Chains A and B, each alone.
Chain A
Amino acid sequence: MENHLKSLRNKNNISQDQLASILKVSRQTINSIETGKFDPSLKLVMKMTRYFKVDLEKIFVFQDDD
């Protein structure tokens, strides 16, 4: 699934390691999500929206063919 996690992370000036630590996941998880390879669970998505204080649609872009 396409997402804006990387740009959002850069905007907040935090590294993958830092974000992983905040969200209590591995850096591989963050990297895999940013590259669109891995779709996170709803729980992790909610953690992201809370941390960045944005709506879900501001992070993830759902397309019909996803």
Chain B
Amino acid sequence: MAKITYKGLWIEVSSLNPQDKKNYIRSIIFFALGGFFLGIHLAFTGFVGGEPIEVRDSAKPFILIIRLLVIACFITASIYYKMFYQTQDDFFKSYHNSAFAGGAYGFVVFGTLVSVFSPYFNFQPTFYEFFLAFTAGACIGGYLFYKKYIAD
């Protein structure tokens, strides 16, 4: 079973049984690969902020393949993560829920605040800001779980 470490920010991979370890590592690899391809796609469309790299030819085969790879990688990662998640105990599932609820909370709170106040600061939030808000929220959620249930 997964051991929660680093104050709720990570899990100890060596604590997993061989099958869970495989599923977890595969999901992380596919999420990272999907993120890499998504970064290429976002850079091409200009969604990450700034000018798009290539506006006119954004539908050419290269970028189409990249987009298909994004979808394939994320779906594969999700399948492996689900396989890993299903074999974990209730304690880990509670931790997982806490972290992701924190992420959703960060996303929504940040998104709402930015949307409401952005005209006053002349600031246009992009994918990165929302992703960072989600990540920060997930870290806070994981840490709060650690503090409440694990820390001495």
Contact = CB atoms under 8 A, between A and B. Distances in A.
A38 B3 CA distance: 15
A5 to B, nearest CB: 14
Interface string B1-44: 11110000000000100000000000000000000000000000
Q: Which has the most chain B C-beta neighbours within 10 Å: A20, A24, A38, A40?
A: A38
B119 to A, nearest CB: 45
B2 A26 contact: yes
Contacts of A38: 91, 94, 149
Contact of B90 (A20, A27, A37, A44): A44
B150 A29 contact: no
A31 B4 CA distance: 13
B89 A29 contact: yes
Interface string B76-97: 0000000000000111101000
Interface residues of B, number: 13
Interface residues of A, number: 15
A22 B107 CA distance: 39
B90 A29 contact: yes
Q: Which has the most chain A C-beta neighbours within 10 Å: B15, B91, B94, B149?
A: B91
B148 interface: yes
13 contacts: A24-B1, A24-B89, A25-B89, A25-B90, A26-B15, A26-B89, A28-B4, A29-B91, A37-B148, A38-B149, A40-B90, A41-B90, A43-B90
Given A25-B1, A38-B149, 11 more contacts: A24-B89, A25-B89, A25-B90, A26-B1, A26-B2, A26-B3, A26-B15, A29-B91, A31-B150, A32-B91, A32-B150
